[in-house]
Structure 1
Amino acid sequence: MVETTLPVNDGDDASDECLLLLESNSGDRSWMLNFDGFQFSEYKEKPPRGLHDCLGVLGPEDNVAEYYQQQVEMLEGFTEMDALTERGFVPGMSKEEKEKLAKSETFAIRISNVANMILFAAKVYASVKSGSLAIVASTLDSLLDLLSGFILWFTAFSMQTPSPYQYPIGKKRMQPLGILVFASVMATLGLQIILESVRSLVSNDSEFNLTKEQEQWVVGIMLSVTMVKLCLAIYCRSFKNEIVKAYAQDHFFDVITNMIGLIAVILANYISDWMDPVGAIILALYTIRTWSLTVLENVNSLVGKSATPEFLQKLTYLCWNHHKAVRHIDTVRAYTFGSHYFVEVDIVLPADMPLQEAHDIGESLQEKLELLPEIERAFVHLDYEYSHKPEHAQTHL
């Protein structure tokens, strides 16, 4: 049985034992799996299908191209595992590059918070000028941006301040928890906007009569806010950090809501008053849908969802090529535990192998697995046979 889920690790240096094992395995490689004789297929990209792609319909050519693309990605993954086996580390950024990236991420968070404060003040002024329910709803959203920004900042700060006695395995679960709180607050705001808009429609107390000067102020402020938010969304989207990406999603969401609010104000001013609360309802429904999807995504990362089969294949390949003494691979399991994966591996070694040698093989495999950026922690169990039931099997009546 092979199951998997991904964790992420900081990439500490391998131990001396691991390096010695790498040297001992560098001679005879006939026992190792390798795919050197395989050629990459010419089907590297799915050909454009025009209308079929727009309708989500896959033709025979698409299925063939998708199959070959999966094979190419699988071989690339095995090549990455070979590099880890041969070099003892995963090629990537240097320590200086990581520090530079961390500073850039911190700058992105800070500039987002400062921008949220300035833009909130501008939208308060636009709300006072217009009296629009949609603009007021967008302003309340900006107020929540400040609250959400504080939540995400506190989450990032907590993750950077380790407490090995109170949190022995780190605080990386703080990341999805912070995003969950963020998303829940945004969805709650959407429900409040719907209730207020329905009340306004039923009571028919929404009246619009903006002067030319008021209209120019409102349009100018909302367009300026939208452009700033769009630039911030593009900038934050360039990072891989989940918290910075949450800011990017929030900035892009503000672009949508600002445009909806502005269009609702203009239509209500020139056509009919009821279009303002209707625009607010559309805005709120978009809010609830967007952040509900975010909640579901982060819940999955906290409940231990399994890794993809492709990732499990890579881990199995790495475990088999780790040492020629490995007789069988009983279990490879990877599951989410926050934003990264925990990995559990059961390997079978000869029954008469000395404890010291078996321990070195298992420990070096654990360190090798934890070098993968997707893995936070790895657990390697050593056994001498594979006919028993799976370890930690769940028994539910």
Structure 2
Amino acid sequence: METMSKSGFLPGALTEDEMENLARNERMAIYVSNVANLVLFLAKLYASFESRSLAVIASTLDSFLDLLSGFILWFTSAAMRNPNQYHYPIGKNRMQPVGIIVFASVMATLGFQILLESARELIAHTHPSKDHDDEMWVIAIMVFVTVVKFILMVYCRRFENEIVRAYAQDHFFDVITNSIGLAATVLAIRYKWWIDPIGAIIIAFYTINTWTKTVIENVWMLIGRTAPPEFLAKLTYLVWNHHKEIQHIDTVRSYTFGSHYFVEVDIVLPADMVLSEAHDIGEMLQEKLERLPEVERAFVHIDFEYTHVPEHKGKA
């Protein structure tokens, strides 16, 4: 923050060529993830038909929703790259959390459906017959899917882009569900039939818990929750050290607006300062704040005293 305060630029910032290369690699990660999700879904669909295992079916439904989530993330990424200042004057960044909330809600609902079906099978003692001849095929497919998902998870975690990170989280989720589904299927074939619905119930609970947390997290992003205290402290430090003519900081406010923050700052400058100089100080501060990677927009209000009642009050 000291370097940012003095130079106005983040230390270690990428050059334009490096940023273009990084963006190209991020698009490649998204493309590879989408293609892999399609191929792995088809493989798991075959495994579901052959094994008729509830745990494998639950994992396959998750893979189907991977395709849906990939479409949502691709659509929001493409929409955010093509803003329309007339129809969307503040940008389209909130499309991403809205899309994630829709997808996560569907995931949690399907997890609940799998939970009900597994409980029904346990109570009724009705389970499909297992074909031991196809056991090795099912095991091979599930192991292959799990290994590929693990490699994709490691690959996508190399990037800082939030959409690519979402893919990494989804791949990690698949590694967990595929491992549980594989273990439940093998144990059900070799030992007790009820291990399979128990595995499906575990996957269902894990699905509901994970995506419920995702819904709550993205809802907080949309309703304007305040930034953490350490981030507000950084903003305050940056504002106070911006210019020697700043006499007082009246307000430093930051809140979520989609996946990034909006920042509102009220500073006090000398009452006899000419307008052009005050404008330049405020504009440079705004640009400096907006260079922070967490900040979407910054608003700087300039005043000559701080004893007044705040101009903007929240509506009930």
TM-score calculated relative to the size of structure 2: 0.95
**2:298 corresponds to 1:387:** no
Higher helix share: 2
Unaligned runs of 5+ in 1: 1-79
**2:286 corresponds to 1:366:** yes
Match of residue 295 from structure 1: 215
Letter of the 1:151 counterpart? I
Match of residue 155 from structure 1: 76
Listed as ranges, the matches of 1:46-125 within 5 Å are 80=1, 82-91=2-11, 92-125=13-46
Listed as ranges, the matches of 1:308-387 within 5 Å are 308-387=228-307
Whole-angstrom distance in 2 between the partners of 1:310 and 1:134: 43
Instruction: Kindly report the root-mean-square deviation, in angstroms, between the aligned alpha carbons of the 2 structures.
Output: 1.5
Match of residue 184 from structure 2: 264
* Superposed displacement of residue 395, structure 1: 6.0
* Superposed displacement of residue 306, structure 1: 1.3
Letter of the 1:292 counterpart? T
Unaligned runs of 5+ in 2: none
Match of residue 143 from structure 1: 64
Query: Is the CA contact 1:108–1:244 (under 8 Å) kept in the aligned structure 2?
Result: yes
Whole-angstrom distance in 2 between the partners of 1:395 and 1:117: 47
**2:203 corresponds to 1:283:** yes
SS, match of residue 342 in structure 1? strand
Higher relative contact order, structure no. (Cα contacts within 8 Å, ≥ 6 residues apart): 1
1:122-155 deviation per Cα after TM superposition (whole angstroms, max 9, x unaligned):
1111112211121112112111111111111111
The runs of 4+ residues in structure 1 deviating greater than 6 Å are none
* Superposed displacement of residue 198, structure 1: 1.5
1:366-387 deviation per Cα after TM superposition (whole angstroms, max 9, x unaligned):
1121122221111111111111
* Superposed displacement of residue 202, structure 1: 2.2
SS, match of residue 377 in structure 1? strand
**2:144 corresponds to 1:224:** yes
Letter of the 2:270 counterpart? P
Whole-angstrom distance in 2 between the partners of 1:373 and 1:136: 41
From 69, 92, 114, the equivalent of 1:171 is 92
TM-score calculated relative to the size of structure 1: 0.76
Whole-angstrom distance in 2 between the partners of 1:342 and 1:195: 42
Query: Is the CA contact 1:175–1:242 (under 8 Å) kept in the aligned structure 2?
Result: no
Whole-angstrom distance in 2 between the partners of 1:247 and 1:395: 38
Letter of the 1:237 counterpart? R
**2:50 corresponds to 1:129:** yes
1:57-85 deviation per Cα after TM superposition (whole angstroms, max 9, x unaligned):
xxxxxxxxxxxxxxxxxxxxxxx2x3223
1:271-307 deviation per Cα after TM superposition (whole angstroms, max 9, x unaligned):
2212211111111000011111111111111111111
Letter of the 2:101 counterpart? L
- Aligned residues with identical type, % of pairs: 64
Bigger Rg over Cα: 1
Whole-angstrom distance in 2 between the partners of 1:323 and 1:120: 57
Count the aligned residue pairs: 315
